[in-house]
Amino acid sequence: MTITTAQPVPAADHGTYPEHPAGRRVLTGDRPTGPLHLGHYFGTLRNRVRLQRQGAELFVVVADYQVITDRDIADRLAEHSENLVIDYLATGLDPESATIFAHSAVPALNQLLLPFLSLVSIAELGRNPTVKDEIAHSRQSAVSGLMFTYPVHQAADILFCKADLVPVGQDQLPHLEVARTVARRFNERYGAGVFPRPRALLSAAPLLPGTDGSKMSKSRGNAIALAADEDETARLVRGATTDADRRITYDPAGRPGVAGLLLLAALCQDRDPGQLAEEIGDGGAAALKRTVTEAVNEHLRPIRARRAELAADRGHIRQVLRTGAERANAVADATLAEVRAAMGAVGSA
């Protein structure tokens, strides 16, 4: 199923789903700013789980330092981080083979950042559309250096494990371009073949709208969380922005609110949103919202049940992060040693 979104997908080198996932190295991650939502689930989580089941090697970063890119205080960081891990496991990630770790637990990531920063110009960072968008939604009055250099941090997160595939939402494509640029320039300057050029992997729903018709985001009050209960889901869907036209049609550009809801129900039921619109016909927004609520609740029921079980054992979740940090540190230290050696750095002696 190919889904059209309100915003066109930019022309970038983003990969289609690989023919042979086994042995591929995959890196993805999320900021612990709140519970994961349906945008994450259909945007990247399902691809992560599918890749893992087909034999890819997964690294998943809980990007805790990156929380303070757009706000002064990282609120309830430990709780949000553990909840991310619960969401990962509930949706099917297997911590036995996936390396799930917190950014702040892997110091070598920040050592990689320094040479990487030297490979990117200020003008390039200033032009990055995702940085501009994140600055526009930032809770800070002034743009910090950390926010400005966000894509380079992400390049370190991706390149430390030499990932060649990065399942992300559409908003991350400009960041991926920075990671590709950093990899290429490092290899040109210091020695061919140190880093692969990572490719983005978009899903069929690269930019799922939230209940207000704009990108569903943890921090924008427009998200339906995986962890929400059925009544809360119904309330959130009832409050979604639609329009007064009783005839339901799938028109992402002209009717983003209605289209977002149709897309959500269609994804949950693995159907075509246009067909679903025809079925609802003249039922208006009320019928549409009833359909969406049922579709979401039904689809998420087993995930939510698993979530509740996992949430009862926080000790296990913390252990997953500890084991992940050990594995990630070993990989990051090896890459850092290679980087230092390629640069002829004193620290490599």
Instruction: For residue 348, give the 3-state DSSP assignment.
Output: helix
Distance of CA 137 to the CA centre of its chain: 17
Q: DSSP labels for 247-309?
A: S----TTT-HHHHHHHHHHHHHHT--HHHHHHHHGGGHHHHHHHHHHHHHHHHHHHHHHHHHH
Output the smallest distance, CB 341 to ligand ATP, in A.
32
> Count of residues binding ligand ATP (CB under 6 A)?
20
Output the smallest distance, CB 333 to ligand ATP, in A.
26
168 near ligand ATP, rule: CB under 6 A = yes
Q: What are phi and psi of 101, to 5 degrees?
A: -145, 160
Strands 14-15 and 199-201, by their bridges, are: parallel
Side chain identity at 25, as an amino acid letter? R
Q: Supply the DSSP symbol for 58.
A: E
Q: Which is nearer to ligand ATP, 48 or 307 (CB)?
A: 48
List 3, 21, 44, 179, residue binding ligand ATP (CB under 6 A): 44
Contact 128, 172 (CB under 8 A): no
Output the smallest distance, CB 216 to ligand ATP, in A.
4
Outline where DSSP puts E strands in the chain.
Answer: 14-15, 25-30, 57-62, 99-102, 165-167, 199-201
Q: Which is nearer to ligand ATP, 112 or 226 (CB)?
A: 226
Q: Which is nearer to ligand ATP, 45 or 194 (CB)?
A: 45
Write the interaction track for ligand ATP spanning residues 264-283; mark x where CB under 6 A is met and - where it is not: --------------------
30 near ligand ATP, rule: CB under 6 A = yes
The structure tokens listed for 229 are 């209960």
List 21, 35, 39, 256, residue binding ligand ATP (CB under 6 A): 39
Could you identify the residue written with the tokens 């349906």? 38
Describe the strand order of the beta sheet including 25-30 as a list of residue ranges. Answer: 14-15, 199-201, 165-167, 25-30, 57-62, 99-102
Distance of CA 79 to the CA centre of its chain: 19
Output the smallest distance, CB 72 to ligand ATP, in A.
14
List 24, 25, 40, 80, residue binding ligand ATP (CB under 6 A): 40
Q: Which is nearer to ligand ATP, 182 or 339 (CB)?
A: 182
260 near ligand ATP, rule: CB under 6 A = no
Q: First CA to last CA across the chain, in angstroms?
A: 53
Q: What are phi and psi of 35, to 5 degrees?
A: -70, 150
Output the smallest distance, CB 214 to ligand ATP, in A.
9
Output the smallest distance, CB 105 to ligand ATP, in A.
18
Output the smallest distance, CB 203 to ligand ATP, in A.
7
Residues between 129 and 158 with contacts to ligand ATP, criterion CB under 6 A: none
Angle at which helix 284-311 crosses helix 77-91, to 10 degrees, equals 100
Q: Which is nearer to ligand ATP, 111 or 130 (CB)?
A: 130
List 14, 27, 33, 58, residue binding ligand ATP (CB under 6 A): 33
The structure tokens listed for 274 are 């246009």
Q: Which is nearer to ligand ATP, 153 or 215 (CB)?
A: 215
Choices 101-109, 168-176, 265-273, 297-305; region in contact with ligand ATP by CB under 6 A = 168-176
Residues between 171 and 230 with contacts to ligand ATP, criterion CB under 6 A: 171-172, 206-208, 215-220
Q: Which residues bind ligand ATP (CB under 6 A)?
A: 30-31, 33, 39-40, 43-44, 168-169, 171-172, 206-208, 215-220
